[in-house]
Amino acid sequence: MHLDPLILSRCQFAWVIAFHILLPSFTVGLASYIAVLEGIYLFTKRQIYFRVSVFWTKIFAISFGMGVVSGIVMPFQIGTNWSRYADATANILSPLLGYEGLTAFFLEASFLGVLLFGRNLVPRWAHFVAALMVALGTLISTFWILSANSWMQTPSGYKFVDGQFFPVDWLAIIFNPSFPYRFAHNVVAFYITTGFVVVAVAAYLIRKTKHVEQGKIMFSMTLWVLTLLVPLQIFLGDLHGLNTLKYQPVKIAAIEAHWTTEKRAPLILFAIPDEKTESNKAVLEVPLLGSIILTHHIDGEVPGLKQWAADQHGPVAIPFFAFRIMVGLGVIMFSIIIISLYLRARKRLMTAWFLTLCQYAGPIGFLAILAGWVTTEVGRQPWTVYGVLRTAQSVTPSLTTSDVLLSLAGYMIVYLIIFPVGIILMGRIIRKGPAEKIEKEAIEGGQSSSPITTPPEYTS
């Protein structure tokens, strides 16, 4: 492969954003979960909710910090490696990002300090409000950033003059055709991801017969939430797909490795797409199911890539396999909740083998989210703004190959240190489990159980 600033910048952006998305995938759900726990504690005054909340807040602190530092990289990426895209899209996308900062980032960042360190310093209701504000901030942030990404996928409300986009209708820009579906599908994905992590941690605690009471509270409650959310997510994913078929048909064709437009199309389960011959090898397919799933009609027409010139679509194999991985993981998630319902009916929810299964299924949401984003972003290629601005036209013109090699190496090395360390440290908190009892009532998350008093020489 020929290395140039474009391909290296693609790799760099993929690297930094893939790592970054892992964090909000967890912290959005976890912020809400902590707010719920704090709320239940505030109203019921039951100590066990306090202890579980303190436990998760310690984990939250680490992951949120990692989310912040990897997030700060992102607006600068747009400038450093994609300056032509920045110049072209600024009029449309910059206010969306601006409002994300103004309505979400400041909210979550400011109240985070109180959430982590302020339990001793503010009334209990104020600490609960702080938790709520952090959770709200994460959701508002998701709204704006997905609006921006969705506009890139299904641009609307604009005019394109001399290589620059200009806004015509802000409501059409923000609530562009794919936004509602992408937003719903992503938020539910975030909650499902956190849900499986909580279930895994709870299963671990129960299996090790440590802090079993806390574990049981987490396990059953969260599985109920997942029982609602996983089928909902499948439904939302289907709607998202129908919307994509309407507005980005070439992306559907690539996801399905479908070369010839046809009705009564099969569903290709496995294939090796060959872009040179515009056909698939080693095909394993189910007849008719393609049209049924993609269009909800047996006679529905599924687009084929040969309808477009080769430079109008991106790589086929990547979105094809990424999508199948995501759906496969969804099937596993669905199976887990079906099993949980069966076991509940038998009053044997916490049997040993199911606990083990749940424990190892912990990371499943993260993998599904990565697979889904690869599908949608690689599927959007060769466009940064679908149908209008190409990725090749978006890259910063002043960069050389060595420039981007250096920066890519820098990001890779640093992320490969920071992220594993963060995961290991969170793992240690999990293995220790929530405290059995905490001596002082109001203690902020992150503090050890015996406060250190000020040594004499540090007072005047």
Partner 1 sequence: MIMDFVPLWTLIVGAAVFFYVLLDGFDLGVGMLYGFAPDRPSRILIMNSIAPVWDGNETWLVLGSVGLYAAFPLAFAIIIPAVYFPILVMLLALIFRGVAFEFHFRDAAHVTFWDRAFSLGSLIATFAQGIILGAFIQGFNVEGRHFIGSSWDCITPFSLFTGIALVFGYGLLGAGWLILKTEGRLQATARKQGRYFLIGVLLSIAIVSIWTPLQDPDIARRWFTWPNIVYLTPIPIITAFIAYFEWRVLSNPRWEMAPFIGAVGLFWISYIGISISLFPMIIPHHFTLWEAASSPETQAFLIVGTLFLLPIILMYSGWSYWVFRGKVRSDIGYH
Q: Considering only residues 295 through 334, tell me which ones interact with partner 1, judged by CB under 8 A.
A: none
Nearest approach, Cβ of residue 436 and partner 1 (Å): 20
Buried b (16+ CB within 10 A) or exposed e, 240-265: bbebbbebbbbbbbbbbbbbeeeeeb
Contact between 83 and partner 1 per CB under 8 A:
yes
**Residue 457 touches partner 1, criterion: CB under 8 A:** yes
Stretch that binds partner 1, among 82-90, 179-187, 249-257, 271-279 (CB under 8 A): 82-90
Give the footprint of partner 1 on residues 115-144 (CB under 8 A): 116-118, 120-122
Q: Mask: binding to partner 1, 337-376, rule CB under 8 A, as x and -?
A: ----------------------------------------
- Could you tell me if 326 and 371 are in contact, meaning their C-beta atoms sit under 8 angstroms apart? yes
Q: Is 282 left (phi over 0), alpha (psi -120 to 50) or beta?
A: left
Nearer to partner 1 by Cβ, of 37 and 408: the residue is 408
The footprint of partner 1 on residues 425-454 (CB under 8 A) is: 425, 428-429, 444, 446-448, 451-454
Given the rule CB under 8 A, which of 175-183, 247-255, 304-312, 422-430 is the region that contacts partner 1?
Answer: 422-430
CA 236, CA 234: separation in Å to the nearest integer? Answer: 5
- Amino acid letter, 302: V
| Pick 277 or 455: Cβ nearer partner 1 | 455
| Site membership for partner 1, residue 3 (CB under 8 A) | no
DSSP code, position 163: T
CA nearest neighbour of 350 among 199, 228, 226, 195: 199
Which range touches partner 1 (CB under 8 A), out of 203-211, 266-274, 297-305, 402-410? 402-410
Task: Based on the shown chain and the rule CB under 8 A, indicate whether residue 247 belongs to the binding site for partner 1.
Answer: no
Q: Residue type for 155, please?
A: P
Count of positions on this chain that bind partner 1 (CB under 8 A): 80
Q: Which stretch binds partner 1 (CB under 8 A): 28-36, 88-96, 176-184, 385-393?
A: 88-96
Q: What type of residue is 79?
A: G
Smallest separation, CB 269 to partner 1 (Å): 41
Distance CA 72, CA 20 (A): 10
Rounded to 5 degrees, φ, ψ at 178 are -90, -10
Q: What angle do CA 383, 170, 189 make, to 5 degrees?
A: 60
CB closer to partner 1, 105 vs 259: 105
Q: Quick one: angle between helices 179-207 and 5-44, nearest 10?
A: 60
407 binds partner 1 (CB under 8 A): yes
Nearer to partner 1, 75 or 300 (CB): 75
User: Rounded distance, CA 380 to CA 319, Å?
Assistant: 9
The H-or-E segment that residue 406 falls in is: helix 401-432
Whether the upstream peptide bond of residue 382 has omega within 30° of 0, thus cis, is: yes
CB of 390 to partner 1, least distance (A): 17
- Which DSSP state fits 159? E
Cβ closer to partner 1: 108 or 256? 108
Instruction: Give the nearest distance from C-beta 88 to partner 1 in angstroms.
Output: 9
Both ends of the chain: CA-CA distance in Å? 66
The residue range among 57-65, 193-201, 239-247, 335-343 that interacts with partner 1, by the rule CB under 8 A, is: 57-65
Q: For residue 174, what is the enclosing H or E element?
A: helix 170-174
Pick from 3, 109, 239, 286 the residue near partner 1 by CB under 8 A: 109
Q: Does 421 bind partner 1 (CB under 8 A)?
A: yes
The residue range among 65-73, 258-266, 298-306, 331-339 that interacts with partner 1, by the rule CB under 8 A, is 65-73
Contact call for residue 95 and partner 1 (CB under 8 A): yes
The stretch near partner 1 (CB under 8 A) out of 49-57, 62-70, 185-193, 346-354 is 62-70
Closest CB to partner 1 among residues 94, 261: 94
Cβ pair 451, 440 in contact under 8 A: yes
Nearer to partner 1, 85 or 196 (CB): 85
Q: Does 179 bind partner 1 (CB under 8 A)?
A: no
Q: By the 8 A CB rule, do 56 and 34 touch?
A: yes
Count of all residues that appear for the chain in the document: 460
Q: Which one, 79 or 287, has the nearer CB to partner 1?
A: 79
Three-class SS of residue 399? coil
**Residue 277 touching partner 1 (CB under 8 A):** no
- The pair phi, psi for residue 166, each rounded to 5°, is -130, 140
Q: Residue 277 or residue 454: which is nearer to partner 1 going by CB? A: 454
Rg (CA), the chain: 24
Near partner 1 by CB under 8 A: residue from 3, 47, 113, 331: 113
Roughly what angle, to the nearest 10 degrees, separates helices 364-380 and 5-44?
140
Q: Tell me the window of 48-56, 225-233, 333-341, 418-426 that interacts with partner 1 (CB under 8 A).
A: 418-426
Burial code (b: 16+ CB inside 10 Å, e: under 16) for 185-217 equals bbbbbbbbbbbbbbbbbbbbbbbeeebbebbeb
Candidate residues 15, 48, 99, 343; the one interacting with partner 1 per rule CB under 8 A = 99
